[in-house]
């Protein structure tokens, strides 16, 4: 507000009162909004501020705030405190294998390619069932029919260029097979190669656990302990007192880290008549991650 005196001199007194809402943590862990007064004053033509003070208008000890240094820059937000992540990773022995296997047939016509692929896949599935793999452990993951093309050089009024020409069709049928008997993995691969012949494509084999949730409690406890240890370390390093937790979120649920153990093999018929395929089973890693926030207690 400005006031003019009769002599024409300006006497300026600026008084601004702004009420904002500051989130404070109560004793019961909930977050409430308390009014806070932000006051500032200045005098003289230059209107230079003499300072700013932020303090709670509530008289409750649970919601009282420290007085902030007028010369400092302070951001009051809902993300104040100490925020950390907690991780837990364990190694366990796998109890299942996931075999990705497919049939790929190439012929001049779609019908011929599809018929050959269907016959070969039926033989592969029968061979797997003969080794004790049930229908619920065999599922189709991809089926495709697409043309096979080559580029030919042509010359016309538009000039010389290459254009694609269809010379045949490729039919691909892929399965994922869950194998519970890890000792029989090599035998399953050999049976598929013998029955499917040159049409068989083995993309990968992965080892994992059938139910990672059985390790969930152990992993979550370890992740929580990791987050708390980090928060305590940061608090001690910064010379502050760590308060109660105000936020926790599970970023990654207990899950398995699956790695390919066997690379893609072409012309799997080469395995027929050869020694049994050796497969080495190693441990797999399970992991989970959380994010947590803790308050900073003030004197």
Query: What ranges do the domains of the chain cover?
Result: 2-79, 94-208+259-281
Q: What is the pLDDT of residues 181-216, one digit of tens each?
A: 888 888 999 999 899 999 999 988 888 888 888 899
Q: What is the pLDDT of residues 249-268, one digit of tens each?
A: 998 777 665 544 544 443 44
Of 91, 269, 87, nearest in space to 194 by CA: 269
**What's the CA gap between 250 and 255, in Å, rounded?**
12
pLDDT at 183: 87
Helices 110-130, 185-196: inter-axial angle, 10-degree rounding: 150
**What's the CA gap between 266 and 202, in Å, rounded?**
7
pLDDT at 130: 93
Q: Which residues of 244-260 are buried (b: 16+ CB within 10 A; e: fewer)?
A: ebbeeeeeeebbbeeee
Q: How many CB atoms lie within 10 A of CB 212?
A: 18
Of 89, 90, 83, nearest in space to 228 by CA: 83
C-alpha torsion sign, points 58, 61, 63, 69: positive
pLDDT at 20: 38
SS (H, E, C) 144-156: EEEEEEEEEEEEE
Of 24, 107, 72, 66, nearest in space to 295 by CA: 24
Element (H, E) at 95: none
Q: What is the DSSP letter of 131?
A: T
For the residues 72-100, what does the mean pLDDT come to?
Answer: 78
Of 111, 109, 105, 262, nearest in space to 174 by CA: 105
Residue 29 has pLDDT above 80, yes or no: no
CATH number of this structure's domain 94-208+259-281 = 3.30.70.2970
Please give the residue that has the higher pLDDT: either 25 or 136: 136
Q: What is the pLDDT of residues 33-64, one digit of tens each?
A: 344 333 344 444 443 333 333 333 333 333 33
Residue 142 has pLDDT above 80, yes or no: yes
Mean pLDDT (the chain) is 75
| β-strand pairing of 82-92 with 53-56 | unpaired
pTM for the structure as a whole: 0.58
pLDDT at 80: 82
Structure tokens at 112: 């011929």
Neighbouring residues of 238: CB distance < 8 A, sequence distance ≥ 6: none
Q: How many CB atoms lie within 10 A of CB 295?
A: 18
């Amino acid at each position: 507000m400005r006031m003019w005196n009769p002599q024409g001199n300006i006497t300026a007194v600026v008084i601004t009162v702004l009420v904002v809402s500051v989130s404070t943590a109560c004793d019961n862990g909930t977050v409430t909004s308390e009014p806070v007064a932000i006051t500032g004053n200045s005098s003289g033509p230059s209107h230079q501020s003499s300072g700013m003070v932020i303090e709670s208008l509530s008289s409750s000890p649970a919601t009282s705030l420290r007085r902030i240094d007028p010369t400092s820059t302070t951001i009051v937000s809902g993300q104040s405190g100490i925020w950390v992540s907690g991780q837990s990773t364990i190694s366990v022995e796998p109890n299942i294998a996931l075999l990705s296997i497919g049939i790929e047939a190439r012929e001049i016509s779609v019908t011929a390619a599809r018929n050959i692929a269907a016959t070969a896949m039926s033989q592969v599935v029968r061979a797997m069932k003969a080794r004790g793999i049930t229908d619920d452990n065999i599922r189709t993951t991809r089926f495709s029919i697409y043309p096979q093309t080559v580029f030919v050089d042509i010359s016309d009024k538009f000039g010389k260029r290459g254009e694609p020409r269809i010379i045949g069709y490729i039919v691909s049928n892929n399965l994922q097979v869950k194998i519970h008997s890890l000792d029989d993995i090599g035998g399953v691969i050999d049976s598929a190669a013998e029955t499917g012949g040159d049409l068989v494509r083995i993309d990968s084999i992965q080892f994992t656990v059938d139910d990672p949730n059985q390790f969930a409690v152990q992993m979550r406890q370890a992740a929580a302990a990791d987050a708390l240890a980090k928060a305590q370390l940061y608090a001690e390093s910064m010379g502050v007192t760590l308060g109660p937790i105000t936020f926790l979120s599970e970023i990654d649920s207990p899950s398995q880290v699956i790695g390919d153990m066997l690379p893609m093999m072409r012309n799997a018929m080469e395995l027929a008549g050869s020694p049994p395929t050796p497969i080495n089973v190693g441990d797999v890693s399970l992991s989970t991650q959380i994010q947590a926030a803790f308050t900073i207690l003030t004197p």
